[in-house]
A and B are shown apart, each in its own frame.
Chain A
Amino acid sequence: MINVRREKESGIEPIWNWQITAACALVLLFVGIAAISFGPINIAFADIVRTVLGIHGGLSGQDRTVLLDLRLPRVLLAALVGAALATSGAVYQSVFRNPLADPYLLGAASGAGLGATIAIINAHGDVYSLLPIFSFVGGTLAVLTSFFISGRFFAEPQSLLLSGIAVGSFATAIQTYLQQRHSSSLRPVYSWILGELTVANWQIVTWSSIYILLALAILISISKQLDGLMLSDEESFSLGINPNRLRIIAVSAATLATATAVSASGLIGFVGIVVPHLVRGITHRVTNRNLLTVALAGAGFLVLADLGARTLLSPAELPIGVITAFVGAPFFLVVLRRRRSAS
């Protein structure tokens, strides 16, 4: 009894708010069902449940194909990619102590773009089976190069940021050169850069879910310690953390998630910045203990954005990157303004 009163008096409520996490999970579920239901062909909720669970009376024929081979993998991929980008964004922001850091910061995006361009130029026929592999290798190589050039890893986070920018520009320059030489490849590369989930199939969902869920599990398991990186290295060391080792684990996992997301769906901007700040705006907390909430919110955000991309100009499709920026940017500004007036 005394403890309870004291707790209230000293203002130490639990930093992690499970109600908000649960709300995000509910929203994701709701948005997911909506995204599976709506499209050029609308599918009733009962039919979805019956078909997925294999109960008698489920869909058949074309509707069944639309549900199982098109909608379901696409919604799952959107959720995975959204969770990956949002979580990596939040992690990069705390590792680099920079609220504007995004998952593409260390050259992952440009490297992946270069890899994808090379794949598109050299592929004859089935580009899409090669594209993820090339862009994954490209993105990972670019990040490793950034680390290698900056030399002392995290001795100076700023130098890592700068080498990431340099590597990114270099990769983009090569990519542009290749595009100009092979102008026939301009269109597919361009549409890839704007981000697309149209290619989603069960194969892509399967391998990307392995990497993304692994990376997310690592990040969420270290999320409490990540709070220590808000302090100086000496302070976090004195509180029992090895800051450089923690940063290397965090950045590696976040890069794995980002590279996988980019190779599965192209460059989808703004999720990595908007969603973490949105969660912070709602919870009034900068803490990484909300990482699970960030992942769920990111998943919900991208599933919703993809629903918009498919339905707004139906039957034509908008690039999803356009939707995330169109919705994300103004929303972001509102949150930013509210936070400024709150502090």
Chain B
Amino acid sequence: MITISNLDFSIAGRKILNDISLTIPSGKWSCLVGPNGAGKTTFLKVLLGSAPYSGSVRSKGSEVFRNHNRNVAFVPQQPQIPQGITVAEYVMLGRAKKDGWGNESQASRGFIGEILGLTNLYGMHKQYVSALSGGEMQRTLIARALAQEPELILLDEPTSALDLHHQIEVLNNLQYLQERGVTIVSTMHDITLAAMYADRIIVMQSGRVLAEGGADEIIHSSELRAAFDDRINVYTLDSGRPVVVAKKDGR
């Protein structure tokens, strides 16, 4: 569980996160939704511990900032794609914290083989990551996160670069992790998908949290509509699944 109280974050005098207090439960999938510029990515960086904040963000009783004792995986929206490194080696970087940089253990090598199978990367493990398509790169990033065996995995728009089929494939991989007790926090622009997969939804706008709670409850809330200036419609399909679409010309 991560307990956040009175969290503020500013860059050059501009407030990016404004007085956020909430808890993120362990073993659940929490999803941050809100318009561009709401502070979602910054919030993920704070949870990772790489960004200096004021207020308190505590995990297992200690502040997360520069706390290297936690094992947190981070999947960025736009990764730096290195040259001259293969898929298998890239996924192996995920073991760096456990084994020490450059000292991959024999056990890790076996483990990586399993992960490559799980993420359908087995055939392409010798390809350079710089030659992968968007969907393959996203799966490689997820594979590296799996290799970390993290307690918490943070994902910034894990599906935004993917077609519908690959979106589901990646999200299913994440669900597999969650079923094994890993806490997931992701941002997602596709609120319909967020409602399908996440346990909890956190609605953000202009650096503030407008609402948070169970996905079913939040998706029909007025705060969600308010976050998008009432420019979305929420429908419910016959199957009971909610669908969120943008309004056009006010309708």
Taking beta carbons and an 8 Å cutoff, which residues of A are in contact with B?
A: 2-3, 6-7, 9-12, 15-16, 97, 99, 223-225, 227-228, 230-235, 237-242, 280, 284-287, 289, 343
Contacts and interface: CB of A to CB of B under 8 A. Distances in A.
Contact of B49 (A99, A237, A289): A237
The secondary structure that dominates the B interface is: mixed
A233 B50 CA distance: 8
B60 to A, nearest CB: 17
Contact of A7 (B82, B85, B97, B109): B109
B101 A237 contact: no
Given A3-B106, A97-B80, A11 B97 contact: no
Given A228-B101, A234-B74, A235-B76, A6 B84 contact: no
B126 to A, nearest CB: 4
Contact of A239 (B96, B113, B126): B96
Interface string B122-150: 10011010110000000000000000100
B48, B73, B101, B104: which has the most chain A beta carbons within 10 Å?
Answer: B101
B92 interface: yes
A230 B89 contact: no
A289 B73 CA distance: 23
A136 B193 CA distance: 60
Given A235-B74, A238-B72, A224 B109 contact: no
B88 interface: yes
Contacts of A3: 106, 109-110
Contacts of A234: 45, 48, 50, 74, 76
Nearest to A16: B102
A231 B88 contact: no
Interface of B: 45, 48-50, 66, 68, 72-74, 76, 79-80, 82-89, 92-94, 96-97, 101-104, 106, 109-110, 112-113, 116, 122, 125-126, 128, 130-131, 148, 154
Contacts of B122: 10
Nearest to A15: B89
Nearest to A286: B84
> 3 tightest A-B contacts by CB?
A224-B102, A286-B84, A230-B82
Contacts of A238: 48, 50, 72-74, 148, 154
A225 B94 CA distance: 13
A6 B106 CA distance: 10
Contacts of A237: 48-50, 74
A225 B101 contact: yes
Contact of B128 (A99, A230, A343): A343
A97 B80 CA distance: 10
A241 B76 CA distance: 16
B96 A228 contact: yes
Contact of B80 (A11, A235, A286): A235
A332 B125 CA distance: 29
A11 B125 contact: yes
A314 to B, nearest CB: 41
